[in-house]
Structure 1
């Protein structure tokens, strides 16, 4: 047995499939499980000439019959999507903005050539038996960096909830790339997607305990929901984020309020005052301000005071300011209600037109 890293074009796989030299369903493989959204996203990756993960296939050479067959070991969902699009059976959607509504036949000749000539990175396992295939993957996994919960969810889920949250995180890249609400380093590990998930959760189920296990539980609970379910949530998320940037980006982007834990609390306070969301323990005592609107002048004054106290505390000039409780809560486990509630309620009261 030998393993050979190579690249093959999309047209190679289409040709092998047409000649029945490609087996997408060996005994150890699942059937087709990808949603249309996942398929379209892959085709968009190819049409934009962006990289995709390696495909592993086992090549069986029969010297007697002088034939060769290829069994896909890892990557069959990707190849099924590619073959489906090449056969004209997949129409692109909004997951491929430049090519929305098009099938392969609708593409310009230049784009068809880009698709057909796209190089797929492959590892070819020649005459490997099943035990050797398992050994290879065990070794590959032993060198891997442990995936984050966000990466694991992105790999596991194919339902609309995944794409609704992922698309929002992509389109709000200004928050990560320019403002650093989540650092670029952490965004590579998809922690920006986790924060975006909490934006959605705030409107959908209310603001409470967070953290990765809670986010995963939310994904599981919403697996059956359609794309339409998330559209009004996304509209509210966009509106709140835009209002925060319009009013606060210029003066507060360098303050702790544009770091993920406090930005989430800021988002929740503005969301509650602007639209409201399901009440819970965290909203006890501030329900009268629900959806009453935001006094941005009062908000800016309060944020400036808290930011100044953050700076004073950092410089060891004292920890007994007016907003010491907010600062203290910011240092504790920031995904627990015990930390979120005092910060959320302080901002709701301070931002309201009827300051309690």
Structure 2
């Protein structure tokens, strides 16, 4: 009902051609299936892991939600007439070669507070960014990397543009876990507004450039957000405070992004880059979640995009 995937269920399917009968045995996924069956029979209530449906049994659901539950497609793999040795081998592999959980997936499992749902819902609502524009690839979005980027958008508008990365995001979740849903609504409104104007003004010319890849898109988002709304100042904004809230000159922005995109795509060494862009190009090649990389790129975009006239 939350439109989330679940792991595949593995069956051994025994087919008897002479009697034209078929039996199935669950190889992996029995607990998942048991939970589904018990919920459907009214024996389980949903928990706060699903806030919208907390405390509800199947019969308590709206008809549309019951239909969504019943129509959910469970991914299955059938092992046709496999012998016991093969079944045991597959079971061992399934439980030995699991993929390491990402920090974003861990946060989603650990937190049940509004901070998680505000960010997660925004990432879901902005699926156009991931599915169409590929700002975070579909494959990475499956591992919730898109939620991490959305968290950075929220953090930027709430706290300012500083160090990022998964540890910083987790700290944000921890520090904001007591905040009510209402705390995040104005942040979400600003996130939506900034994303909408970026897509409206820049998608046509830059959707296939490095500026619509996650790390550069985040800096682009931060620069536009600072010029449109402003956000708390820190050492990243220390040298551009006069531009805060002054608005974006979109003609200048498009011209500058075109030049920067050409430089980034050319793969030129720093010394071969246009001297005006050299610091931006150099910073783009370092660890992109540190202030040392973010500050020069952010400053450059803010100054070049700004409507401010000294």
TM-score normalised to structure 2 length: 0.77
Q: Number of paired residues?
A: 269
Gaps of 5+ in 1: 18-23, 25-31, 44-80, 89-103, 122-137
Aligned-partner Cα distance in 2 for 1:226–1:204? 14
Q: In 2, are the aligned partners of 1:10 and 1:119 still within 8 Å (CA)?
A: no
Q: Which residue number in structure 2 is paired with residue 154 of structure 1? A: 108
* 1: CA distance, partners of 2:46 / 2:34: 24
- Quote the offset at 1:14 in angstroms: 5.7
Say whether residues 1:143 and 2:122 are aligned partners: no
The aligned counterpart of 2:57 is 85
What is the Cα deviation at residue 314 of structure 1? 4.7
Question: CA 1:116/1:179 → structure 2, altered by over 3 Å: closer, same or farther?
Answer: closer
Separation (CA, whole Å) in 2 of partners of 1:179 and 1:170: 14
Q: C-alpha distance in 2, partners of 1:33/1:219?
A: 23
1:107 aligns with 2:63: yes
- Structure 1 counterpart of 2:208: 254
- Distance in 2 (CA, whole Å) between partners of 1:330 and 1:115 is 45
Give the Cα separation in 1 of the matches to 2:167 and 2:152.
12
Question: Matched residues in 2 for 1:311 and 1:348: separation?
Answer: 21
User: Quick check: 1:172 aligned with 2:126?
Assistant: yes
Task: Find the partner of 2:197 among 240, 243, 256.
Answer: 243
Q: Which runs of 5+ in 2 are unaligned?
A: 1-24, 76-91
Q: Once superposed, what is the RMSD of the aligned Cα atoms?
A: 3.2
Relative distance call for 1:300 and 1:255 in structure 2 (3 A) is: same
**Equivalent residue number for residue 254 of structure 2:** 300
Map 1:197-276; keep pairs closer than 5 Å: 197-276=151-230
Report the CA distance shift for 1:120/1:296 in structure 2 as closer, same or farther (over 3 A): closer
**CA offsets 1:235-274 (integer angstroms, 9 cap, x no match):** 0000000000000000011111111111000000000000
Following the alignment from structure 1 to structure 2, what is the Cα–Cα distance between the partners of residues 193 and 224?
20
C-alpha separation between the residues in 2 aligned to 1:117 and 1:257? 39
Partner of 1:254, secondary structure, is coil
Partner secondary structure for residue 84 of structure 1: coil
* 3-state SS of 1:334 partner: coil
Structure 1 counterpart of 2:18:
none
Superposed, 1:1-356 pairs within 5 Å as: 7=33, 13=39, 15=41, 17=43, 34-35=47-48, 38-40=50-52, 84-88=56-60, 104=61, 106-107=62-63, 112=66, 115=69, 142-314=96-268, 318-354=272-308
Runs of 4+ in 1 over 6 A off after TM superposition: 116-121
Partners of 2:199 and 2:297 lie apart in 1 by 20
Q: Is the CA contact 2:41–2:58 (under 8 Å) kept in the aligned structure 1?
A: no
TM-score, normalised by the number of residues in structure 1: 0.67
Instruction: Return the offset for 1:145.
Output: 1.0
